[in-house]
Amino acid sequence: MTTVSANVMSRAKTPFINEALINFSQEEQQRAQAEALAQVKSELGQTYPLVIGGQEINGEKTFASVNPSQPDQVIGYFAAATIEQTNAAIQTAAATFETWKRVPASERAGYLFAAADLMRQRRFIINAWMIYEVGKSWVEADADTAEAIDFLEFYAREMIRISEPQPITRTEGEDNQLVYIPLGVAAVIPPWNFPCAIMAGMASAAFVAGNTVVLKPASTAPAIAYQFMRILEDIGLPKGVVNFLTGSGAVIGDVLVGSPKIRFIAFTGSREVGLHIFEHASQTPKGQIWLKRTILEMGGKDAIVVDETADLEAAATGIVASAFGFQGQKCSACSRAIIVEQVYDKVLQKVNEKAKKLVMGDVTQASTAIGPVVDENALKKILEYIEIGKAEGRLLLGGKRQGSGYFIEPTVIADVAPDARIAQEEIFGPVLAVIKAKDFDDALTIANNTEYGLTGSLYTQDSQRIERAKEEFHVGNLYFNRKSTGALVGVHPFGGFNMSGTDSKAGGRDYLLLFTQAKAISTKK
């Protein structure tokens, strides 16, 4: 064993622990973040290339990523990949797979540890890119970077674990083993809302398992993905293992997903695009000798249920944090508060009071909790839903756009019927529908009555109801007496049921298996 791989093996044996969040109440940390924001500000507006096989290729056409707080500020210009360039990226990944798949698992895991270390060093800078590019508050941006570090640390250890001899039943006269081998070329297609964590998590899971990657970042968050590419370059990841392909999903998505050289797709995003990919990937174009695997994590219509025994103060705090954190733009966001009749008015009042206090505005300031929504399309769509909501319920708070950025006030709409559109469709913005239930049974029925099943939360002091909800509340991530957002890698493996996706459980022990195929090998003695 080389010293490098011995070091990796010994690091892999240390238990995984979640990365601590930065404490921005400390002056030193505040200063570091402010300095990073100033540095990143001085770098805004540059032009970025595609990276295929380590080669930087400038686009004939580019598109701009802009600051949603201040849409006239360009974050960067990114190459709009052509169909030829998309095919070139796939071809390069396919050629690189032939060498990368032979690199030992410990060496591959070593790259993830190295990337985690470098991301720690660049933490404030990466936070700053997220604050500018997608309008995250400091705390939300830092949690995103911390989660990315967690994924790198976790999947490195997981790769070592699954590369070790696997438990298998013994039989006389034969030696048997089961090994997990890579699949091939991955199309990794992340969303913009966790532009560091989900992007780095899906990409690193793919390549640590021995696959090569075409990474197509979301068009509203390519600068953050480019920062990750720089980290991979700086740690010396072999060229062509991860290829950076920017461009509109609507233009190049079908070529990427449909290519006979793509072996699997790791996607996180909307239900609409996820379903399209699912159908498209099921086809077997000429020359394709496998069934494509799809790992698809999609939307949610997540509920927090509050019964009459609950700590109402804690419930209201959890609802507000889950509904309005990152402007409600989380797949795990609470978009339905389902409250039993007996305590409905009290909880509603508390939610209203707490939501009113949220500070919305300039996310480059430490004290700001609420920033803009991601782009003009999101702004229009959310405002349309607010209009629909005003007709479907009683507007209690917010409802309006603010300023020249894409700011929408935290909005609470009360007395919404369980089957109303704003109680069924994912809005993906700071809009909370509050629904009155007759009792706990009714609340549970309402909670389950959507086509999604991602996260859910129940506030109650009744242990029997907790046991019932464990059986009957049909969501991939179920929480009791806590908010519905903030899943931690390793602690809360994350993924949803039904139209929320394939329940791939990112950050869990099953995840890397989705990026491999198992080979059983039997030798007669």
Contact range with ligand NDP by CB under 6 A, out of 75-83, 116-124, 296-304, 462-470: 296-304
Contact 250, 278 (CB under 8 A): no
Set 147, 297, 392, 409: catalytic member? 297
Q: Pick between residue 1 and residue 250 the one whose CB is nearest to ligand NDP.
A: 250
Q: DSSP readout, 111-150?
A: HHHHHHHHHHHTHHHHHHHHHHHT---HHHHHHHHHHHHH
User: Which CB sits closer to ligand NDP, 150 or 426?
Assistant: 426
Neighbouring C-beta atoms of residue 49, cutoff 10 Å: 16
Helix (H) or strand (E) holding 257: helix 249-258
Q: Does 114 bind ligand NDP (CB under 6 A)?
A: no
406 binds ligand NDP, rule: CB under 6 A? no
Distance, in Å, from the CA atom of 515 to the CA atom of 512, rounded to the nearest integer, reads 5
The binder of ligand NDP chosen from 68, 253, 318, 490 (CB under 6 A): 253
Sole binder of ligand NDP in the list 100, 154, 180, 192 (CB under 6 A): 192
* Binding flag, residue 343, ligand NDP (CB under 6 A): no
Question: Which CB sits closer to ligand NDP, 24 or 63?
Answer: 63
Q: Which two tokens stand for residue 472?
A: 């009957």
Measured from the CB atom, the residue of 100 and 324 that comes closer to ligand NDP is 324
C-alpha 525/C-alpha 523 separation (Å) is 6
Under rule CB under 6 A, residue 326 binds ligand NDP: no
Q: Is 250 in the site for ligand NDP (CB under 6 A)?
A: yes
Q: Name the residue among 215, 230, 325, 328 with its Cα closest to residue 268.
A: 215
Interacting span for ligand NDP (CB under 6 A) from 45-53, 245-253, 380-388, 516-524: 245-253
Q: Reply yes or no on whether 297 is catalytic.
A: yes
By CB under 6 A, the residues from 481 to 500 that bind ligand NDP are 494, 496, 500
In the set 454, 475, 499, 514, which binds ligand NDP (CB under 6 A)? 454
Of 145, 212, 268, 411, the residue at the interface with ligand NDP (CB under 6 A) is 268
**Per the structure block, which two tokens stand in for 452?**
């999604």
Q: Does 327 bind ligand NDP (CB under 6 A)?
A: no
CA atoms of 50 and 71, how far apart (whole Å): 24
Q: Which of residues 298-317 bind ligand NDP (CB under 6 A)?
A: 298-300
Q: Which two tokens stand for residue 400?
A: 């309006």
Confirm if 85 and 52 have CB atoms less than 8 A apart.
yes
Which span (84-92, 105-113, 270-278, 357-365) binds ligand NDP, by CB under 6 A? 270-278
Stretch touching ligand NDP by CB under 6 A, among 23-31, 267-275, 285-293, 417-425: 267-275
Does the protein bind ligand NDP through residue 382 (CB under 6 A)? no
Question: Among the options 331, 334, 392, 426, which is catalytic?
Answer: 331
Helix axes 222-234, 197-208, angle to 10 degrees: 40
Q: Which stretch binds ligand NDP (CB under 6 A): 96-104, 252-260, 305-313, 347-355?
A: 252-260
Interaction of residue 244 with ligand NDP, rule CB under 6 A: no
Q: Decide whether 41 or 381 has the Cβ nearer to ligand NDP.
A: 381
Judged by CB under 6 A, does residue 428 bind ligand NDP? Answer: yes
143 contacts ligand NDP (rule: CB under 6 A)? no
Written as six digits, the tokens of 184 are: 């091939």
Type of residue found at 165: P
Nearest to 490 by CA among 30, 13, 19: 19
Backbone angles phi, psi at 375, to 5 degrees: -160, 180
CB of 337 to ligand NDP, least distance (A): 18
The residue type of 57 is: I
Binning the chain into helix, strand and coil, the percentages to the nearest 5 are: 45, 20, 35
CB of 338 to ligand NDP, least distance (A): 19
- Is 196 catalytic? The answer is no
If one asks whether residue 430 binds ligand NDP (CB under 6 A), the answer comes out as no
Q: Which stretch binds ligand NDP (CB under 6 A): 108-116, 154-162, 214-222, 517-525?
A: 214-222
| Burial status of residue 224 (CB atoms within 10 A of its CB: 0-12, 13-18, 19 or more) | buried
The residue among 154 and 194 lying less far from ligand NDP, judged by its C-beta, is 194
* Pick 405 or 507: Cβ nearer ligand NDP: 507
One-character DSSP codes across 77-104: EEE---HHHHHHHHHHHHHHHHHHTTS-
Supply the DSSP string of 196-244, one letter for each residue: THHHHHHHHHHHHTT-EEEE---TT-HHHHHHHHHHHHHTTPPTTSEEE
Q: By C-alpha distance, which of 448, 500, 455 is closest to 477?
A: 455
What residues pair up with 293 in beta bridges, in sequence order? 264
To the nearest whole angstrom, how small is the minimum distance from the Cβ of residue 384 to ligand NDP?
Answer: 16
Is 377 one of the binding residues for ligand NDP (CB under 6 A)? no
Q: Measured from the CB of residue 213, what is the shortest distance to ligand NDP in angstroms?
A: 14
| Biggest distance spanned by C-alpha atoms of the chain | 76
d(CA 378, CA 430): 11
Name residues contacting ligand NDP, limited to 155-174 (CB under 6 A).
none
Residues of the shown chain interacting with ligand NDP in the complex, contacts defined by CB under 6 A: 189-194, 198, 216, 218-219, 248-250, 253-254, 257, 268-270, 273, 276-277, 297-300, 331, 426, 428, 454, 494, 496, 500-501
Q: Which residues are catalytic?
A: 297, 331
